[in-house]
Amino acid sequence: MGKKSRTKGQQYEIEVRDALRDLFNDPQRNLDQVREKEGRDLDGTQPLTVQCKRRKRVAMGTVMAGLQEAIESCDNEYTTPCVVFRSDFGVSHITFVLDDFVALLYDYMNGGYE
């Protein structure tokens, strides 16, 4: 991966981190992920395991690969994998496994996340 692509990825992780600040106490980029090239992209987003993907054009294969990375990175604290992604000049989207999204929404609607 070239320097321009790495910089683009870093900037997008910061953009997503900033967007999530009102929802989570102190989300931060996971610098261990950068060094080890695996794991979630953000820390402090429990229960979400967040992978960030930014491309010129985001293909479904990129989203699915990111979701698989998130699934493999889940642990006892980060239990719900998701991918936040956007194409250049587009808006950000988020993808969950349907069962995980339903469980999150169920917990929220029943007072599990106050």
pLDDT at 96 over 80: yes
Going from the C-alpha of 47 to that of each of 8, 67, 68, 77, 104, the distances in angstroms are: 26, 15, 17, 6, 9
Q: Please tell me the predicted confidence (pLDDT) of residue 34.
A: 59
pLDDT tens for each residue of 58-89 = 999 999 999 999 999 999 999 999 999 999 99
- Domain spans of the chain, in order of start: 3-109
Q: What pTM was computed for the model? A: 0.88
pLDDT tens for each residue of 12-48 = 999 999 999 999 989 999 987 756 656 899 999 999 9
| The domain made up of 3-109 is a member of CATH 3.40.1350 | yes
Q: Please tell me the predicted confidence (pLDDT) of residue 1.
A: 63
- Quote the CA–CA distance of 66 and 46 in Å, as a whole number: 18
The two beta strands, 48-55 and 80-87, are: parallel
Average pLDDT, the chain: 90
More confident residue, 55 or 1: 55
